[in-house]
Amino acid sequence: MSTFIAFREGGQSVLKRIEAFFDALFGSAGNPWRHLGALGFYFAWLAMVTGIYLFIVLDTGIEDVYTSIEYYTHQQWWLGGIMRSIHRYSADALVAVMLLHLAREFFYGRYHGFRWFSWITGVPVIWLVYASGIGGYWLVWDKLGQFSAIASAEWFDWLPIFSDPATRNFLTPESLNDRFFSLLVFLHIGIPLLLMLALWAHLLRVSRPDVFPSRALGWGSLAMLLALALVKPTVSHGRADLAVVPTALDLDWYYLFIHPLMNLTSPAGLWVIAGGFTLLLLVLPLLPHRKQEPIAVVNPPNCNGCRRCFEDCPFTAVVMEPHPDKPGHELARVIPDLCASCGICAGACPSSTPFRSVEELVTGIDMPRQPVSALRGEMERKIAALAAAPKIVVFGCECAADARGLERADTAVMNLMCSGLLPPSFVEYALRGGADGVLVTGCREGSCAYRFGTQWTEQRLRGAREPHLRAANVPPERLRLAWADPHEGGGLEVALTEFRKHLQTLGADEKRPRAYTRRIAHYG
Amino acid sequence: MDNAAVSHAHAFKFTPASIVGQALFYGLFAIIVGYFSTGPRYQHLAPDLALIKLSFSHHGQPVTECRKRTAEELAKLAPNMRAPMACPRERSPVTVQVELDGKPLHRSVTAPSGLSKDGTSTTYQRFEVPAGEHTLAVKMNDSIRVEGFNYVKEEKLTLKPAQIVVIDFAADKGGIFFAQ
């Protein structure tokens, strides 16, 4: 098991470095590695849109299908030919990003716990993508389609499901008729529709799914496909002839690699490989994993039904229900199976403000492992214990670069389960409670283990999302953000050193928020 | 309301270096997509070979002969079930032997499908053989009540490279036939 974990964590470490490199080129919003799923959707949409045009001009018949495709490939290359090439290459790119997405989610360990449903429902998506793509090759009915159709039939004939072998449909030129192609067209539309249904299920437990790449990434990808279509237009092999074996083939390895693999092994061997891979994906969530932290808990007397936790939850784990005692009001409820135990909801709760003077700070929705009250108490104690200036409070994140090692005589570190757990008012509270500066760190955007922790925190601190940081009370000079993934601990330390120097240049009273001391302090 | 300290923490600005880097990335991705979309070339069958496919879907003969029901037997049956002949459901397995140039190429015994063994016996085999002149002999037995082979077909064939010859069986075509 330790080898398995080491393999996964090694892959994750490599991925994080690649993603950080691409952040510099594309920015996190446009970084293709951080939006592989969205790119997959994009390529699927492109394949569908171009497929609609190709369907309109396609003649379904043994002779007609090839002739019609040849016509729009060569005579109408400027429209039909380009459409065909984009259809082909977008489908190929879909496989590439789908497999990368699968690998990335695996290395990040996103296949168990509250994520099991999205992982399991992703498995049939792989089969449906392949079924859609392979069926498309048959439709062309050139030598490649002939090869693929016969090889597929040989593969399925191994299963005891046909009374008459499927291969007998392709024995001689007389075996086929026009109805076969009508069936193929139907399947090449029907299976992609099933794929859409499977993708809907795949995203069912994901709030605000990332299904559209950024505008820059979308245009860039389209331009790439267009350039590829012009430089290397997709062409057919020769017309299919069931009396002759296709010998040398320019194979689309993204989809059709299964045929050489079967010829290398056997139909049974390919079933073992495909079935074994599928089974492996399906059992991964069942392997022993680290136990999940206790989930979020709603405290009804402190929940005013503001819906912020409902809006911010990345996994649709919070639902709003009619308040049992207050007609016309709502109450948050946590669905245990969906909760990721990230704490983003607690950071969103307006009741999480530390300025409340109650002895026991109980918020509307809280995390049992890191209750807001305990965080306030810990912060008060740590600020009081700081012995050197400038006094800095670092809000760290357990999933990002480890901030705990930054603790010094002048630096207190609050290590949060997720940066999204930070109620923005804690920043103001720290500054008014004696800190000279606050540094907030967490995963890079797009790298957050809980999807939106970084994004929501940044928006809350910027004042673009509720609950927002009161900018009038917090001088921007005394707040700094430094997003850093786990391998970027050195960069985080540099950012802290620079911030420390910056704070030293500020006068003692310069732009300092008005001091505030809670009437009843835990440390007092 | 906007906090200047964080308002541009993630704002990405295109620079000449990032534009060149993005162009290189898109170019590399296009090369990977474009190359594996058609390459490397796959040699499915060596250029000097031809293919013989053996495929049939055939009901073997009943394992025993049909017999005429007696008047007593018919009387015991419901009126709508009084078929004069009683035939067994179970079919014989089908034995096939293929020889090429006098040498055995394949032999198989295919059981009838179905729980009652009353379905077809089916087979599909492919043999890659050198192109050129060959003598192809196929023998089949579809009845356990017959000794030896009750269908035999032998023919001299000249196979071109990549040519497919299909060995099939159809009673209305006289039994075993070669399609090429």
State mean pLDDT over A64-78. Answer: 94
Between positions 81 and 140 of B, the ones with CB within 8 A of A are 113, 119-120, 122, 124
Q: Quick: pLDDT tens for A203-222.
A: 999 999 999 999 999 999 99
Q: Look at the alpha carbons of B59, B60, B61, B62 in this order and tell me if their dihedral is positive or negative.
A: negative
* pLDDT given at position B4: 41
* pLDDT given at position A37: 96
**Contact flag B6-A96 (C-beta cutoff 8 Å):** no
Q: How far is A236 from chain B (nearest CA, A)?
A: 11
Q: How far is A523 from chain B (nearest CA, A)?
A: 31
Q: Does A154 touch chain B (CB under 8 A)?
A: yes
Question: A88-92, A223-227, A358-362, A502-506: lowest mean pLDDT where?
Answer: A358-362
Contact by Cβ (8 Å): A181, A61: yes
Q: Which residues of chain B have pLDDT under 50?
A: 1-9
Of B2, B36, B164, the CB nearest to A253: B36
pLDDT grade for A29, boundaries at 50, 70 and 90: confident
Residue A336 predicted with pLDDT over 60? yes
State mean pLDDT over A322-343. Answer: 93
DSSP string, chain B: ---HHHHTSS-----HHHHHHHHHHHHHHHHHHHHHHH-S-EESS-TTEEEEEEEEEEPPPBSS--EEPPHHHHHHS-GGG--SEE--S-B--EEEEEEETTEEEEEEEEPPPSTTS-S-EEEEEEEEEESEEEEEEEEEE--TTSSS-SEEEEEEEEEPTTBEEEEEEEGGGTEEEEE-
* pLDDT given at position A246: 95
Task: In chain A, count H helices and then E strands.
Answer: 17, 9
Contact by Cβ (8 Å): A259, A115: no
Buried b (16+ CB within 10 A) or exposed e, A435-459: bbbbbbbbbbbbbbbbbbbbbbbbb
Percent above pLDDT 70 for chain A: 98
* pLDDT given at position A356: 86
Locate the domains of chain A by residue range.
38-286, 297-505
Q: How far is B169 from chain A (nearest CA, A)?
A: 12
pLDDT grade for A2, boundaries at 50, 70 and 90: confident
State mean pLDDT over A125-150. Answer: 96
What is the residue-averaged pLDDT of chain A?
Answer: 93
State mean pLDDT over A95-117. Answer: 95
* pLDDT given at position A524: 37
The first and second tokens of residue B70, run together, are: 């007696």
* pLDDT given at position A137: 96
Of B1, B41, B44, the CB nearest to A245: B44
Of A212, A41, A144, A232, which is closest to residue B32 (Cα–Cα)? Answer: A232
Q: Quick: pLDDT tens for A148-173.
A: 999 999 999 999 888 788 999 999 88
Q: Which CATH number fits domain B49-62+91-179: 3.40.50, 1.20.1250, 3.10.20, 2.60.40?
A: 2.60.40
Give, for A396, the enclosing helix (H) or strand (E).
strand A392-397
Q: Does A461 touch chain B (CB under 8 A)?
A: yes
* pLDDT given at position A389: 86
Chain A residue numbers touching B119 (CB-CB < 8 A): 163
The first and second tokens of residue B153, run together, are: 């077909």
Q: Which CATH number fits domain A38-286: 1.10.1040.10, 3.50.7.10, 1.10.760.10, 1.20.810.10?
A: 1.20.810.10
Percent above pLDDT 90 for chain A: 81
Q: How far apart are CA A38 and CA A210, in angstroms?
A: 5
Strand order in the sheet with A437-442: A411-416, A392-397, A437-442, A479-483
* pLDDT given at position A519: 57
**Exposed/middle/buried for A146, CB within 10 Å: 0-12, 13-18, 19+?**
buried
* pLDDT given at position A510: 67
Of B5, B30, B120, the CB nearest to A480: B5
Q: How far is B71 from chain A (nearest CA, A)?
A: 37
Do you find a cis peptide bond into A467, omega within 30 degrees of 0? Answer: yes
DSSP conformational letter for A388: S
Locate the domains of chain B by residue range.
11-38, 49-62+91-179
The first and second tokens of residue B143, run together, are: 């009845």
Describe the crossing of helices A267-283 and A116-140 by its angle, rounded to 10 degrees: 150
Contact by Cβ (8 Å): B88, B63: yes
Chain A: residue nearest B57 by CA? A164
Q: How far apart are CA A117 and CA A111, in angstroms?
A: 8
* pLDDT given at position A82: 97
Residue A409 predicted with pLDDT over 60? yes
Buried b (16+ CB within 10 A) or exposed e, B93-118: bbbbbbbbeeeebbeeebebbeeebb
